[in-house]
Amino acid sequence: MTLYAPPAIPAFPAGFGALPATMDSLIQAPLGFLATSIVFRAHQATTQSLTSGTFVTIKYDTIDEDPYGGWSATATGSQSAHSWLAPYTGWYVLEMTYNYTPTSPATWSGAGFLQDATALYQFGAQLSYGGDGGAYILPLIGGTDYIEFQAQINLAGLSTAVGSAGVQPSAEVSFISQ
């Protein structure tokens, strides 16, 4: 698969004559980049304990797509453990879902995104029966901003549910604009 960078804003100096290479950079590269807008997709195949009343980072252990190599399961000099680093500066759609067991009708849960280990963007806590999730559109700075996918629960002794396909906690990030 060919990876394309986001297109640069074109500039046309006086007397500019288009060359084949220029046309490639103005048409093929931008369309190639936009055709592959998914920059990260993962799910969790191993259960993880959740802490009552505290946001915890979901530790995705199965990376389905990461063409730009932004995911890191360990802390590095530029990002926390179990986080995704934005490859380019722009606007991204961040989506996540998670399920937990055992389920109870009196359980509330919350989900959200922690940006650069400081800013928490959370969905409203909701009374739920086994899961939560949502999506945000956020601007991120390429090579600097990273995201941790987070979840919280109000009862002790609960863990993420990974029982069958389509039920596992999952995340997806798409690039939408510069």
Phi and psi angles of residue 130, each rounded to the nearest 5 degrees, phi first: 110, 0
Tell me what the mean pLDDT of segment 45-49 comes to.
Answer: 88
Q: Phi-psi region for residue 86, left (φ > 0), alpha (ψ -120 to 50) or beta? A: beta
Q: What is the Cα–Cα distance from 6 to 3, expressed in whole angstroms?
A: 10
Render pLDDT for 1-20 as a digit per residue (tens, 0 to 9). Answer: 667 677 666 666 666 666 66
pLDDT at 48 over 70: yes
Q: Please choose, from the candidates 96, 76, 98, the residue with its C-alpha nearest in 3D space to the C-alpha of residue 146.
A: 76
131-134 long-range contacts, CB within 8 A, separation 24+: 131/97, 131/98, 131/99, 131/100, 131/161, 132/97, 132/98, 133/95, 133/96, 133/97, 133/98, 134/95, 134/96
Task: Kindly report which listed range (75-84, 107-116, 164-173) carries the lowest average pLDDT score.
Answer: 164-173
β-strand partners of 110: 152
Q: What is the Cα–Cα distance from 43 to 168, expressed in whole angstroms?
A: 6
Query: Which residue is associated with the tokens 């500066």?
Result: 89
Render pLDDT for 134-154 as a digit per residue (tens, 0 to 9). Answer: 888 999 999 999 999 998 888
**Pick the residue with more confidence: 171 or 123?**
171
Tell which CATH classification among 3.60.20.10, 2.60.120.10, 3.75.10.20, 2.60.120.40 matches the domain 37-177. 2.60.120.40
pLDDT of 20 reads 67
Four-residue CA torsion sign, 161, 59, 116, 89: negative
- Output the six-digit token pair for 169: 């906690």
Contact 110, 152 (CB under 8 A): yes
pLDDT of 105 reads 62
Domain residues of the chain, as ranges?
A: 37-177
pLDDT of 97 reads 84
Q: Please choose, from the candidates 122, 140, 103, the residue with its C-alpha nearest in 3D space to the C-alpha of residue 55.
A: 122
Render pLDDT for 65-99 as a digit per residue (tens, 0 to 9). Answer: 998 899 999 999 889 999 999 998 989 999 988 88
pTM: 0.78
